[in-house]
């Protein structure tokens, strides 16, 4: 992999997207930054990270997705890659909160944002953004956030974590290319945060209701069993879990 290390940037995802339009970077080009001024989260949220403490990275994935209906496969490949590496670090209570928050018990330790650039009918380039709280110790005002260091009581090597995560992403993409998607989907489903547990949700109108996470559809919508015993799917902008 080609590694580009930056001291500070507004967004590694934006940097890599710009690089994609002005150059022809090789597959699995990786951009890291010690500090981001406009790190991105899901639905336009801002990812706040203490300089030098965490892993803020964007990875270019080309020549993998050729059909928009398969886009969520990459989300699964990346989320499972991160969880697999963190398991080797003895991070407790690992799960994936839909769509792609990385949890340790009830604390968020990381997040994934994938931006796809569609070029023609069958060409899709993907920018995989990963924010991982590694050695940060202070999360004042963020009661649901934590870091690998805090939950495991140790200091981690960010470069080593990055190397392992990229290798796992490559392995999972190979599995998908070998038509082993069912295996990855099952693992992703097994790791879903609060799967099978009655939980409160809130829709876009502010209405609250109870539901039980069953899984995720092929296009990335959350499948919930509702109180009337029906299963309904929801998009990312339609609901949020209250926990």
pLDDT confidence band for 39 (50 / 70 / 90)? low
The mean pLDDT value of the chain amounts to 92
Query: Using one digit for the tens of pLDDT, what is the confidence trace for 119-169?
Result: 877 789 999 999 999 999 999 889 999 999 999 999 999 999 999 999 999
Give bridge partners of residue 101 from the DSSP assignment: 97, 111
pTM for the model: 0.92
pLDDT at 50: 80
Q: What is the mean pLDDT of residues 58-70?
A: 89
Taking alpha carbons only, the member of 185, 195, 198 closest to residue 229 is: 198
Query: Using one digit for the tens of pLDDT, what is the confidence trace for 193-227?
Result: 999 999 999 999 999 999 999 999 999 999 999 99
Q: Where are the domains of the chain?
A: 3-190, 198-241
Query: Using one digit for the tens of pLDDT, what is the confidence trace for 92-116?
Result: 999 999 999 999 999 999 999 999 9
Give the relative orientation of helices 71-88 and 158-177 as an angle to the nearest 10 degrees: 140
Name the strand (E) or helix (H) holding 211: strand 208-216
List Cα–Cα distances, 67 to 63, 121, 125, 214, 242, in angstroms.
Answer: 11, 8, 11, 26, 33
pLDDT confidence band for 31 (50 / 70 / 90)? very high
CA distance linking residue 39 with residue 150, whole number of Å: 22
The dihedral built from the CA positions of residue 107, 160, 32 and 236, taken in this order, carries a sign that is: negative
Greatest alpha-carbon pair distance for the chain in Å reads: 53
Domain 3-190 coded CATH 1.10.10.10: no
Q: Do domains 3-190 and 198-241 have the same CATH topology?
A: no
Identify the CATH number of the domain defined by range 198-241.
2.30.30.100
pLDDT at 51: 85
């Amino acid at each position: 992999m080609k590694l580009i290390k930056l001291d500070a940037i507004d967004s590694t995802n934006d940097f890599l997207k710009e690089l994609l339009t002005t150059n022809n970077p090789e597959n699995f080009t990786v951009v890291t930054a010690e500090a981001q001024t406009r790190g991105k989260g899901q639905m336009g949220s801002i990812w706040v990270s203490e300089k030098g403490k965490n892993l803020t990275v964007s990875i270019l994935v080309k020549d993998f997705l050729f059909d928009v209906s398969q886009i969520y496969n990459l989300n699964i490949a990346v989320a499972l890659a991160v969880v697999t590496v963190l398991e080797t670090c003895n991070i407790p209570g690992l799960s994936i909160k839909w769509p792609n928050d990385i949890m340790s018990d009830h604390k968020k330790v990381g997040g994934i944002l994938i931006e796809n650039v569609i070029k023609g009918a069958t060409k899709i380039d993907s920018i995989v953004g990963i924010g991982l709280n590694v050695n940060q110790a202070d999360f004042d005002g963020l009661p649901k956030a934590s870091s690998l260091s805090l939950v495991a009581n140790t200091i981690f090597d960010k470069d080593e974590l990055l190397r392992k995560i990229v290798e796992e992403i490559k392995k999972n993409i190979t599995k998908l290319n070998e038509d082993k998607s069912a295996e990855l989907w099952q693992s992703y489903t097994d790791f879903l945060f609060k799967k099978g547990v009655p939980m409160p949700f809130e829709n876009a109108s502010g209405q609250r209701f109870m539901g039980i996470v069953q899984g995720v559809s092929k296009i990335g919508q959350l499948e919930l069993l509702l109180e009337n015993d029906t299963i309904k799917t929801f998009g990312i902008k339609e609901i949020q879990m209250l926990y």
